[in-house]
């Protein structure tokens, strides 16, 4: 059994749990994880983590030990992965994208259908729009076909967002991913959303983002595609968000987003999202900083050498590399650059084709 002490790995956050259980289920390797989320203010397994743990356990008939609220340890003994049609309600605004992160490795060997309810746009996690526009298209280039319907938005603290996720069983091994050249900026897509608040807020956010981008991008040489979605009468979740995606003729996408909160002007939300995108555009690197850590496990499972030229090497990147090495010691991984600076990540995968 593989034993992982979270307190000894970088920021000791939930990323360790997600990557570990995803790879444990895929590779059918038993794992014991201790000091779970010890680097967080509310350590241990919270409701959203337990929902994800129980969901992936059901996909591979895993035996669980110590899977209890606030537990700091967990034993996960996976069985064979089976095709799954599941319905999950996190019960809070727990991030649906983080739940999907944990489940995605399973989709390499069996078809998944998942209806889930929780948070779609919440702090410290990728938005559902990010999954649709950035992560899933790159996984498709590698050979993994995923589909995500965003049925209803969900914000902190109530959640109540809804998604429908499906996957097709791919032909293995996955292809390596070479993200080396951005190419020319084609257009910028803007998703401005709000719920339970005046619809004007969504338009102000989008207009603020556009003005900020026009000030910094030379000659304003881009098309701005605006999609506004406002549900002012809906009160079961209240909040706003803005996602920006810069599309290049190479097929690559860089992202920047921001969330609204009580007392935060809509203009500030738009400017913050624009600033986050502009930071990546100025770095002129082909791999979005939030894409890098999420794609690392798949690169390690692919055939050939992947190369990620990332706008910033994050702790999440380094954490995922460390966890992947524990499960796939034969994969070759190297990082060229310093933490929180642009760099290159090279990964020679193992050409995973499944288990007997």
CA distance 257 to 265: 15
- Angle, CA 215 vertex, CA 211 and CA 221 arms, to 5°: 95
Query: Is residue 336 flagged as an active site residue?
Result: no
- Which residue from 160, 21, 191 is spatially nearest to 94, judged by alpha carbons? 160
Instruction: State yes or no: cis peptide before 84, omega within 30 of 0.
Output: no
- Which residue from 151, 90, 102, 158 is spatially nearest to 126, judged by alpha carbons? 102
Q: Report H helices in 88-216.
A: 96-103, 128-130, 136-142, 200-216
Helices 14-27, 96-103: axis angle to 10 degrees equals 30
Among 129, 290, 316, 336, the one annotated catalytic: 316
Instruction: State yes or no: cis peptide before 53, omega within 30 of 0.
Output: no
Instruction: Check if the beta carbon of residue 243 is closer than 8 Å to that of residue 130.
Output: yes
Q: Report H helices in the chain.
A: 14-27, 47-59, 96-103, 128-130, 136-142, 200-216, 266-283, 289-301, 315-327
R_g (Cα) of the chain, nearest Å: 20
Q: Does residue 243 sit in helix, strand or coil? A: strand
Residues marked active site are found at 316
């Amino acid at each position: 059994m593989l034993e992982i002490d979270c307190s000894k790995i970088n920021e000791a956050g939930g990323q360790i749990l997600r990557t570990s259980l995803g790879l444990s289920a895929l590779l059918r390797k038993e794992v014991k994880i201790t000091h779970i989320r010890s680097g967080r203010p509310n350590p241990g397994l919270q409701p959203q983590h337990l929902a994800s743990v129980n969901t992936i356990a059901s996909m591979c008939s895993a035996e669980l030990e110590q899977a209890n609220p606030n537990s700091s340890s967990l034993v996960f003994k996976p069985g064979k992965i089976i095709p799954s049609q599941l319905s999950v309600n996190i019960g809070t605004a727990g991030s649906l994208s983080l739940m999907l992160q944990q489940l995605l490795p399973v989709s390499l060997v069996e078809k998944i259908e998942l209806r889930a309810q929780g948070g779609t746009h919440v702090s410290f996690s990728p938005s559902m729009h990010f999954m649709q526009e950035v992560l899933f298209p790159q996984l498709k280039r590698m050979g993994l076909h995923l589909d995500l319907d965003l049925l209803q938005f969900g914000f902190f603290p109530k959640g109540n967002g809804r998604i429908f996720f499906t996957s097709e069983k791919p032909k293995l091994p996955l292809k390596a991913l070479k993200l080396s050249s951005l190419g020319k900026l084609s257009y910028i897509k803007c998703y401005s959303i709000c719920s339970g608040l005046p619809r004007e807020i969504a338009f102000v956010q989008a207009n603020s983002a556009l003005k900020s981008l026009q000030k910094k991008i030379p000659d304003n040489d881009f098309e701005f595609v605006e999609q506004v979605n406002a549900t002012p009468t809906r009160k079961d979740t209240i909040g706003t968000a803005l996602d920006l995606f810069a599309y290049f003729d190479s097929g690559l996408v860089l992202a920047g987003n921001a969330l609204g909160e009580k007392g935060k002007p809509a203009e500030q939300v738009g400017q913050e999202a624009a600033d986050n995108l502009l930071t990546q555009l100025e770095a002129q690197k082909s791999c979005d900083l939030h894409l890098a850590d999420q794609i690392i496990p798949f690169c390690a499972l692919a055939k050939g050498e992947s190369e990620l030229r990332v706008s910033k090497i994050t702790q999440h990147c380094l954490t995922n590399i460390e966890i992947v090495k524990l499960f796939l010691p034969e994969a070759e991984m190297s990082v060229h650059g310093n933490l929180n600076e642009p760099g290159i990540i090279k990964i020679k995968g193992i050409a995973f084709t499944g288990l007997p």
